[in-house]
Structure 1
Amino acid sequence: MSVEFSLLAAFLVGLMGGVHCIGMCGGIVGALTFGLPQPQSRARLFGFQLSYNVGRIASYTLGGVLLGGLSGLADNLLVIHQYQSILQVIAGLFMLAMGLYITGWWTGLRHIESGGRLLWRHIEPLGRRLMPVTRPGQALLLGMLWGWLPCGLVYSVLIWSISTGSALEGGLLMLSFGLGTLPNLLLMGMFAAALQKFVRYPLVRYGAGGLVMLFGVVTLYLAWQPLPA
């Protein structure tokens, strides 16, 4: 599977998965938005929202760098590159699971969040100390903490980053995913009520999840193709 295909797939997973992100993170974004000193100009409000999301995506990217780097180290030490196709199969299966998760037809990915909740118990109190947010720097730091919020969708893409076998590619994969989530969550901060109503439509969720599952099928197909001589 080419790097370009993986990055495009990750971006679209983030973009389509933003339907899920709005449902899960909408309350957080709304609390951060309405917690700002009022009144706020739309430009200043956008600046705070952008800071939150830059911090969040930075944490995603760091996670991808760490897991991709660890898998690359294992590749060098244990010579597991022969099993790269197996890792791609796992990535494809997780994409199918993510699509089902977005549609609401299967919520098994929530079990992945259990381990993250243990870490979040230690991170969440740090976020409280940054509230209320009055400066963009605070918003950036809060976003970096928010990036570790237990989320089956995010954690699944992190597991996908393991299949890259590279710190650089793992980081780029998570960066692409994070950028895909950006439009939805930026708009969520500016037009919360309208977007929440939009994503409640079943066809929106089904279309988003179906496209993610399609990428999963393509990934599985490519994983089973014979390696070039």
Structure 2
Amino acid sequence: METDLPAAFIVGLLGGVHCLGMCGGIVGALTLGLPRQDAASPRFWGLQLAYNLGRIVSYMVAGMVAGGLGLLLAQAGPLQATRQVLSVIAGLFMIMMGLYLGGWWMGLARVERAGSVVWKRIEPLGRKLLPVGSPVQAFFLGMVWGWLPCGLVYSVLIWSLSAGGVLHGALLMGAFGLGTLPNLLLMGAAAGWMGGFLRKPMARKIAGGLVMVFGLMMLLQLRPDNLISG
């Protein structure tokens, strides 16, 4: 678990190339009620931080659910073998996420489309909070937006299944959420520059390749004998 948290943080950091497309619009919407000169003011940063805190809280709630479910699955069968199987699934999802980020395979887009069924019911709640005029509004908007269908988030949620429990699942998703924070904060302050940089094919391929490396490392750390013997 000690090594999982830094790894989850780095995966979130690398996933900034995906966050731009998924969350860039809402980050911009946070400043709709602010004069142009306020873009570097304490109020601006207060809204940004409140929004992202709400988003990370939603990630942690989802991580608690996934970690608890993973623990129940592990208790229902051979403990070590079940955790190993969940870790294999998490590693494979991480590799698929790397392929998706790099633009080599778009299969996870189908997973995001499947998640949009639930999102259609949640999204109107966020729309009622616009335009954002206070950190409290921004926080609740972030909590709503945390449930946006996202292949990157889903991949780390699968990882949370193998985390070993409710607390570990929440911490894993929290570390991932903190990793996405620098990109989204910079996106709010310098959306034009960040957008141009992160849309470059080379930036996406490097990030995707590094996420794939994390997935491979996760698989290489597993012990095949546990999968066989349980």
Instruction: State the TM bucket, normalised to the shorter chain.
Output: over 0.9
Distance 1:87 1:216 in 2: 13
Aligned to 2:90: 91
Distance 2:205 2:6 in 1: 20
**Partner residue of 2:7 out of 3, 6, 9:** 9
Q: Secondary structure at the match of 2:221?
A: helix
Aligned to 2:155: 156
Q: Secondary structure at the match of 2:149?
A: coil
Distance 2:125 2:193 in 1: 31
Cα 1:53–1:226 change in 2 (3 A) is same
Q: Secondary structure at the match of 1:110?
A: helix
Q: Secondary structure at the match of 2:35?
A: coil
Cα 1:201–1:130 change in 2 (3 A) is same
One-letter identity of the residue aligned with 1:37: L
Cα 1:41–1:97 change in 2 (3 A) is closer
Partner deviation per Cα, 1:157-215 (whole Å, 9 max, x = no partner)? 11111112311111111011101000000110111001001112222111111111111
**Partner residue of 2:33 out of 33, 36, 39:** 36
**What is the TM-score of this pair, normalised by structure 2?**
0.92
Query: Are the counterparts in 1 of residues 11 and 179 from structure 2 also a CA contact under 8 Å?
Result: yes
Distance 2:201 2:116 in 1: 29
One-letter identity of the residue aligned with 2:190: F
Partner deviation per Cα, 1:93-119 (whole Å, 9 max, x = no partner)? 111111111111111111111332111
Partner deviation per Cα, 1:47-80 (whole Å, 9 max, x = no partner)? 1011110000100011001110122123224444
Q: Secondary structure at the match of 2:130?
A: coil
Aligned to 1:68: 67
Runs of 4+ more than 3 Å apart: 77-81, 224-227
Distance 2:21 2:166 in 1: 31
The answer on 1:128 being equivalent to 2:147 is no
**What is the TM-score of this pair, normalised by structure 1?**
0.92
One-letter identity of the residue aligned with 1:206: K
Cα 1:110–1:216 change in 2 (3 A) is same
Please, which moves more after superposition, 19-28 or 98-107? Answer: 19-28
Aligned to 1:27: 25
The total of aligned residue pairs comes to: 224
Unaligned runs of 5+ in 1: none
One-letter identity of the residue aligned with 1:5: T
Percent of aligned pairs with the same residue? 56
The answer on 1:18 being equivalent to 2:16 is yes
Deviation at 1:149, TM superposition (A): 0.6
Distance 1:112 1:70 in 2: 20
1:39-118 equivalences in 2 (<5 Å): 39=36, 40=38, 42=40, 43-118=42-117
One-letter identity of the residue aligned with 1:151: C
Please, which moves more after superposition, 139-148 or 67-76? Answer: 67-76
Q: Secondary structure at the match of 1:37?
A: coil
One-letter identity of the residue aligned with 2:100: Y
Distance 1:166 1:58 in 2: 17
Please, which moves more after superposition, 207-216 or 23-32? Answer: 23-32
Query: Are the counterparts in 2 of residues 86 and 223 from structure 1 also a CA contact under 8 Å?
Result: no
One-letter identity of the residue aligned with 2:148: L
